[in-house]
Amino acid sequence: MARIKLQDVHKHYGRGAAAFHALRGVSLEMYSGEFVALLGPSGSGKTSLLRAVAGLETIDSGSIELADDVVAAPGRHVLPERRNVGVVFQGHALWPHMTVFENVLFPLRESGLNEAQARPRVMEALAQVELQALAGRTPGELSGGQKQRVALARAMVANPRVILFDEPLASLDVELRRDMMRHIDQLRRPDSSMIYITHNQEEALALADRVAVLFDGCIAQIDTPVRLCREPQTERVARFVGAGNLLPARRAGTAHNGCSQVALGQYHFSARDTSTGVSETLQLCLGPTAFALVGPDAPGLTVRVEHVFFQGSSYAVDAVLQGALAVSLSLVLPFETQPRRGDLLRLQVRDAWVMPGPPGSA
């Protein structure tokens, strides 16, 4: 059963000639328990979409269903408190004068429980985020990460059918992010779905079952993290998710079993290809780890190393392809390779993806 269903949702801000079309026909179906990340650059409409699902914003056309309830449609707008949705905002938005316990108690109070009935559920929610010991403190006595964990507990305590996250990690430092990602991952329930908004591709890919990439108020692609990286449908998606290097190549054979022979200069290799195109020119997507270092006389590509960034157990390398096509490539090479600036490396391509659209398509 689809737990969340958005159909052709449109949203304008303002009216007439000055109106801004923030959501341009967003459709999305999520299943019970699914975790979908909405990934897009700033201004792409992520918060607008989340506010529309939460009921904090009306929509102009289309519809939103949560479980089997139509909560938004032309002439219908169910109020936020009646949608059974939990929200975690970037700036946790805790009530400063209430204790941690009272903050988490609040949604249960709203739903009509008294404190005695609600207490075990509040303590259970606090246990989930390892904060039972701090139940009596006020937000002013907590660190940033602890406050954000209280916000998580508050969002989930009433067993909402949907939990919405709007860039919950944006204000935390790198160490706390990983810790919070563990806590968020632990909140997953078969009966409550999650929509997680972020402009950070790492968070989206790490946490979500599926990632929806949002550009200019439209979903450009929705797929599992692995497919999004291995099979981006457009160049813009490929760039935004960091799927790899895009470079023009030639088709050197017809597609067979989902693969085609392609050529970069004199070097021929196999690429995954689901395009129906027969054009001779095509755009290839080569992931950063798609390359293997080989001897100087083996068939392959020659690149010159321009920059080397040590990453603890591997090297991120910027290199320039030698020959007629002097494009830049971003590679990740294993520790043993010890690349140095100025080195000429011979590389074979172990994995490549033929972009489905014609070269240069958005």
Identity of the residue, 34 or 167, whose beta carbon is nearer to ligand ADP in the bound complex: 167
Shortest Å distance, C-beta 52 to Mg ion: 13
33: number of Cβ within 10 Å: 14
Shortest Å distance, C-beta 90 to Mg ion: 8
Residue 329, C-beta contacts closer than 8 angstroms, at least 6 positions apart: 245, 247, 286, 303, 318, 319, 320, 321
Question: Of Mg ion, ligand ADP, none, which one does residue 13 interact with (CB within 5 to 8 Å by kind)?
Answer: ligand ADP
User: Using CA atoms, how far apart are residues 234 and 223, in angstroms rounded to an integer?
Assistant: 13
Quick check: 144 and 171 in contact, CB under 8 A?
yes
CA-to-CA separations, 211 to 216, 254, 268, 314, in angstroms, rounded: 16, 31, 33, 27
Question: Of Mg ion, ligand ADP, none, which one does residue 22 interact with (CB within 5 to 8 Å by kind)?
Answer: ligand ADP
Query: Among residues 160, 165, 182, 125, which one has the least CA distance to residue 36?
Result: 165
Quick check: 257 and 267 in contact, CB under 8 A?
no
> Where do contacts with ligand ADP occur on this chain (CB under 6 A)?
13-14, 20, 22, 40, 42-48
Cβ neighbourhood burial of 121 (10 Å; 0-12, 13-18, 19+): middle
Identity of the residue, 177 or 251, whose beta carbon is nearer to Mg ion in the bound complex: 177
The rounded Cα 218 to chain-centroid distance in angstroms is: 15
74: number of Cβ within 10 Å: 10
Identity of the residue, 47 or 233, whose beta carbon is nearer to Mg ion in the bound complex: 47
Identity of the residue, 10 or 250, whose beta carbon is nearer to ligand ADP in the bound complex: 10
Question: Of Mg ion, ligand ADP, none, which one does residue 45 interact with (CB within 5 to 8 Å by kind)?
Answer: ligand ADP
Name the residue number minimizing CB distance to Mg ion: 47
Shortest Å distance, C-beta 200 to ligand ADP: 12
Residue 114, C-beta contacts closer than 8 angstroms, at least 6 positions apart: none
Shortest Å distance, C-beta 45 to Mg ion: 9
Question: Of ligand ADP, Mg ion, none, which one does residue 62 interact with (CB within 5 to 8 Å by kind)?
Answer: none
Identity of the residue, 46 or 149, whose beta carbon is nearer to Mg ion in the bound complex: 46
> Where do contacts with Mg ion occur on this chain (CB under 5 A)?
46-47
Shortest Å distance, C-beta 93 to Mg ion: 14
Shortest Å distance, C-beta 46 to Mg ion: 5
Query: Among residues 273, 262, 270, 211, which one has the least CA distance to residue 237?
Result: 211
Question: Of Mg ion, ligand ADP, none, which one does residue 299 interact with (CB within 5 to 8 Å by kind)?
Answer: none
Question: Of Mg ion, ligand ADP, none, which one does residue 114 interact with (CB within 5 to 8 Å by kind)?
Answer: none
Identity of the residue, 48 or 245, whose beta carbon is nearer to ligand ADP in the bound complex: 48
